[in-house]
């Protein structure tokens, strides 16, 4: 599962602008895209969304997505304490 920056910010207890600002300060984002996509590809991904415009033809927008493993990694990079993950008790006999 991948999350948008807005979803990630909510999960980390921040607003989207504050998350982006902190990620830029740490050198994780350049603009709103990953600064080092090859280095951080296990945690941050560029999502390309194409659409067709009658006047200009195919258009493409790019946005950053955070992978499931990237949540904890990002919290560590930004010095944010995440709540403990509750134990899964479904398989207890």
Give helix then strand counts, H and E, for the chain: 3, 5
pLDDT of residue 85: 59
Question: What pTM does this model have?
Answer: 0.81
Average pLDDT score over residue span 19-31: 96
Residue 2 exposure: Cα atoms within 13 Å on the Cβ side: 12
CA 87-91-93 angle, 5° bins: 115
Residue 8's pLDDT is 94
pLDDT per residue as tens digits for the range 36-88: 999 999 999 999 999 999 999 999 999 999 999 999 999 999 999 876 656 66
């Amino acid at each position: 599962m991948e999350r948008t920056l807005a979803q990630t910010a909510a999960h980390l207890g921040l607003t989207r602008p504050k998350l982006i600002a902190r990620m830029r300060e740490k050198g994780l984002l350049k603009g709103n895209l990953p600064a080092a996509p090859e280095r951080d590809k296990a945690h941050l991904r560029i999502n390309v969304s194409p659409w067709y415009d009658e006047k200009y033809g195919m258009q493409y927008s790019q946005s950053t997505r955070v992978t499931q493993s990237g949540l904890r990694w990002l919290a560590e990079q930004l010095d944010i304490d995440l709540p403990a993950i509750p134990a899964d008790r479904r398989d207890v006999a």
